[in-house]
């Protein structure tokens, strides 16, 4: 009797232990909003085979099979060391070595965006990958043809069947992408650790002064803790913006020249700046904000002062802001092996 | 999450159906809306036949595709049955798509039928969809999300130049969903248990190019984004549907 109980008990223990292991492992592949972030706009539901779906999404992300001539992958222009932006490229090189028309943005904290791409033309997190896949300047591929290529690939064919229990379907491709990219959460910069009072991290004098300037003059659009309100604005880059931006999506003259407020998280890693990558350095960006803003038709009211345009910044304030922005670099995100090319 | 939710819904609806069967024995029938593409009085012949629409000459039509959704059947007393979550893609080149069959309709006598040409706003913002709404069907704009509600493609004029009309746009002033109410010409539609009633619907594509606006293809032979022109065209084709006859 005792022996039997003992055996049952040890089996139970083993089961519990196993579950614990697999649960903590599984956690790496489930979406979890940081406690101090606002409610996300999109949820990525917990599923049992999250790891397999995530890895499928990762492999698709880094696979040129998504492009017409199998030369360009998402990872070609979105590099993990640059917080998934394309470092040093105003515009990225797409298929046939064509140049894109807008700067490749970083990819992180997507679930908090209200719309995707610089103009918000993509209205749902699940459809992000569809845009570059079909853009003639990027991957120039047809979704139907991508599905065919994946079906004809023995490895993908088996994986899709094993995971989703059916032939390769567009929904399943998008689900894999959503899990892979949606889990790219950046919430562990020096600023975050300081804010959460972790590891005794402190901001130095310049960084603290920079934060104060930031809260006084930048916060209305680059809202903490995501450092964006994800709204669309014309910030007066040009008197007559050539790229209509949001206006192209809504057909409204009042949206002409507006682009989504970019997050400032990891901003040190994502040069060059602006939707068209016109500024190579953050110093240039601050000079523009302070002295270069143009009176465009839809110029954001926050950039209009009684005595002029832009956000007046002293040389010292610019230096302090730069110091603060270094605190938004999240190395634990860029070094997270889950997001790297396997 | 969505999938689980759908699964639960499906499971729940099965349960609901079973309950109905065992208790109240509610009779359910079906309808089939048949789409018959015509030019004037004649059946549409794609690719080879040349048509004249007002000032547009030598018009050949290669592609006709459009969404039909949100079907509503209304009884004489004004009560109506709304067919929810049912989207159908009509494609002239796929014979089977010309039949839009809807099951599980409560039996009764209906005097009106209406439907939407297009896809309602919520489904335009709901992410990756399946079935008729699968973006792989080529009826979804990837760079400016939203469904293409209707596609008409072909060639025109002496030089056989191409025209491409992708009509869509689901919100604001230029929303192009068209709600169509079909006259049954004083007849009514009897839906009875396990029977199928057929609504033979003529779709006169001539209407795409006229009424209220005479459309000159040469002035804008390509339209691939929402806007005022798309709205104009959708107002034109809103009256291309008419019931020819019913059979029960």
Is the preceding peptide bond at A59 cis, omega within 30 degrees of 0? no
Spatial distance between the Cα atoms of A37 and A111, rounded to a whole number of angstroms: 11
Cβ–Cβ below 8 Å for B142 and A122: yes
Instruction: Give contacts of A252 with chain B, Cβ < 8 Å.
Output: 172
Taking each helix axis from N to C end, the angle separating A143-152 and A154-164, rounded to the nearest 10 degrees, works out to: 100
Residue with tokens 């490229």: A89
Which among A260, A313, A327, A24 has a CA at the least distance from the CA of A122? A260
Name the nearest CA neighbour of B56 among B128, B199, B152: B152
Query: What is the predicted pLDDT for the residue at B26?
Result: 75
Q: Give residue A299's Cα distance to chain centre.
A: 26
Cis ω before B160 (30° cut-off from 0): no
**What is residue A7's predicted lDDT score, i.e. its pLDDT?**
54
How far off is chain B from A165, nearest CA to CA, in Å? 14
A265-280: buried (b, 16+ CB within 10 Å) or exposed (e) per residue?
A: bbbbbbbbbbbbbebe
Going from the C-alpha of A241 to that of each of A245, A257, A294, B84, the distances in angstroms are: 9, 5, 10, 44
Tokens of B16: 């609901």
Cα–Cα distances (Å) from A308 to A84, A126, A304, A312, B92, in that order, read 36, 42, 6, 9, 60
Q: Of B133, B143, B228, which to mutate for an interface test with A (greatest number of A Cβ within 10 Å)?
A: B143
d(CA A203, CA A196): 12
Q: Which residue, among B208, B152, B165, has the nearest Cα to B39 in the 3D structure?
A: B208
Confidence at residue A23, expressed as pLDDT on a 0 to 100 scale: 74
Hunting for tokens 């999450």 — which residue is that?
Answer: B1
Site from B91, B124, B140, B142 to mutate, A interface, most A CB atoms within 10 angstroms: B142
**Would you call A121 and B134 a contact, using CB atoms and an 8 Å cutoff?**
no
Indicate the length of chain A as a whole number: 342
**A124 conformational bin, left if phi > 0, alpha if psi -120 to 50, beta if neither:** beta
- Tell if the CB–CB gap between A248 and B144 is shorter than 8 Å: yes
How far is it, in rounded angstroms, from Cα A189 to Cα A54? Answer: 24
* pLDDT tens-digit map of B16-70: 333 333 333 578 999 999 999 999 999 999 999 999 999 999 999 999 999 999 9
Q: Is residue B122 within 8 Å of A128, Cβ to Cβ?
A: no
**B148: helix, coil or strand?**
strand
Q: Which residue of A has its CA nearest to B140?
A: A130
- Predicted confidence pLDDT, tens digits, chain A (342 residues): 455 555 555 554 444 444 555 677 899 999 999 999 999 999 999 999 999 999 999 999 999 999 999 999 999 999 999 999 998 898 999 998 998 999 999 999 999 999 999 999 999 999 999 999 999 999 999 999 999 999 999 999 999 999 999 999 999 999 999 999 999 999 999 999 999 999 999 999 999 999 999 999 999 999 999 999 999 999 999 999 999 999 999 999 999 999 999 999 999 999 999 999 999 999 999 999 999 999 999 999 999 999 999 999 999 999 999 999 999 999 999 999 999 999
Three-state DSSP state, A282: helix
Query: A124 and B136 in contact by Cβ < 8 A?
Result: no
CB contact under 8 A, A127 and B146: no
Contact flag B136-A147 (C-beta cutoff 8 Å): yes
CB A260 within 8 A of CB A115: yes
pLDDT value at position A88?
A: 86
Q: Which residues of chain B have pLDDT under 50?
A: 1-24
Rg of the Cα atoms in chain A: 23
> What is the residue whose two structure tokens read 């025209």?
B163
Q: What is the average pLDDT score of chain B? A: 90
Phi, psi (degrees; rounded to nearest 5) at B172: 75, -165
Contact across the interface for A43 and B1, Cβ inside 8 Å: yes
Chain A interface residues (partner B, CB cutoff 8 A): 43-46, 117, 121-127, 130-131, 133-135, 142-144, 147, 169-171, 174-175, 248-252
Q: Which of A123, A142, A175 sits opposite B145 (nearest CB)?
A: A123
How big is the A-B interface in CB pairs under 8 Å? 72
Question: Which pLDDT tens digit goes with each residue over B173-185?
Answer: 999 999 999 989 8
For residue A176, give the nearest of A41, A32, A46, A50 by alpha carbon. Answer: A50
- Distance CA(A19)–CA(B137), nearest Å, equals 42
Q: Are A91 and A277 in contact (CB under 8 A)?
A: yes
Whether residue A225 has a cis bond before it, omega within 30° of 0: yes
pTM given for the model: 0.89
Q: Do A127 and B127 touch (CB under 8 A)?
A: yes
Examine the predicted complex and report whether its ipTM is higher than 0.85: yes
């Amino acid at each position: 009797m005792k022996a039997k109980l003992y055996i049952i008990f040890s089996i139970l223990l083993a089961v519990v232990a196993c579950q614990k292991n697999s649960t903590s492992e599984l956690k790496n592949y489930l979406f979890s909003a940081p406690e101090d972030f606002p409610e996300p706009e999109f949820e990525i539901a917990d599923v049992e085979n999250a790891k397999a779906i995530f890895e499928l999404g990762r492999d698709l992300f880094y696979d040129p099979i998504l492009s017409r001539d199998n030369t360009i992958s998402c990872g070609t222009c979105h590099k993990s060391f640059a917080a998934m932006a394309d470092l040093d490229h105003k515009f990225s090189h797409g298929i046939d070595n064509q140049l894109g028309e807008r700067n490749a943005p970083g990819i992180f904290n997507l679930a908090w965006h209200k719309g995707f791409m610089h103009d918000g033309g993509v209205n749902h997190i699940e459809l992000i990958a569809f845009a570059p896949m079909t853009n003639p300047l990027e991957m120039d591929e047809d979704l139907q043809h991508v599905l065919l290529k994946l079906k004809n690939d023995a490895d993908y064919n088996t994986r899709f069947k094993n995971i989703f229990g059916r032939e390769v379907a567009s929904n399943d491709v998008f689900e894999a992408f959503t899990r892979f990219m949606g889990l790219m959460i950046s919430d562990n910069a020096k600023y975050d650790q300081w804010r959460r009072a972790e590891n005794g991290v402190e901001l130095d004098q310049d960084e603290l002064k920079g934060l104060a300037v930031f809260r006084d003059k930048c916060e209305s659009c680059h809202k903490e803790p995501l450092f964006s309100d994800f709204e669309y604005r014309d910030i007066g880059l040009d008197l007559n913006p050539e790229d209509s931006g949001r206006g192209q999506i809504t057909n409204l003259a009042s949206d002409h020249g507006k682009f989504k407020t970019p997050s400032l998280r990891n901003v040190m890693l994502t040069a060059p700046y602006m939707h068209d990558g016109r500024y190579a350095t953050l110093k240039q960006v601050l000079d523009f904000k302070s002295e270069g803003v143009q009176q465009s038709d839809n110029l954001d009211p926050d950039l209009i002062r009684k005595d002029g345009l832009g956000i007046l910044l002293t040389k010292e304030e610019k230096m302090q802001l730069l110091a603060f922005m270094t605190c938004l670099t999240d190395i634990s995100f860029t070094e997270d092996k889950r997001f790297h090319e396997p | 999450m969505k999938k689980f939710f759908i699964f639960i819904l499906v499971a729940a609806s099965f349960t609901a159906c079973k309950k109905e069967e065992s208790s109240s024995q509610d009779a359910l029938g079906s309808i089939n809306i048949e789409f018959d593409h015509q030019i004037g009085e004649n059946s549409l012949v794609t690719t080879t036949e040349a048509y004249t629409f007002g000032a547009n000459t030598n018009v050949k039509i290669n592609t006709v595709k459009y969404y039909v959704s949100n079907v509503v059947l209304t009884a004489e007393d004004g009560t109506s049955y709304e067919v929810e979550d049912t989207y159908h893609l009509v494609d002239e080149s796929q014979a089977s798509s010309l039949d839009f069959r809807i099951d599980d309709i409560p039996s009764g006598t209906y005097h009106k039928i209406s439907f939407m040409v297009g896809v309602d706003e919520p489904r335009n913002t709901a992410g990756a969809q399946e079935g008729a709404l699968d973006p792989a069907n080529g009826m979804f704009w990837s760079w400016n999300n939203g469904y293409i509600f209707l596609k008409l493609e072909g060639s025109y004029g002496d030089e056989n130049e191409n025209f491409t009309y992708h009509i869509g746009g689901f919100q604001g002033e230029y929303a192009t969903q068209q709600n169509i109410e079909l006259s049954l010409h004083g007849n009514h539609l009897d839906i009875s248990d396990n029977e199928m009633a057929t609504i033979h619907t003529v779709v006169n594509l001539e209407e795409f190019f006229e009424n209220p606006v005479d459309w000159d293809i040469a002035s804008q032979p390509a339209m691939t984004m929402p806007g005022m022109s798309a709205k104009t065209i959708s107002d034109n084709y809103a009256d291309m549907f008419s019931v020819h006859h019913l059979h029960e």
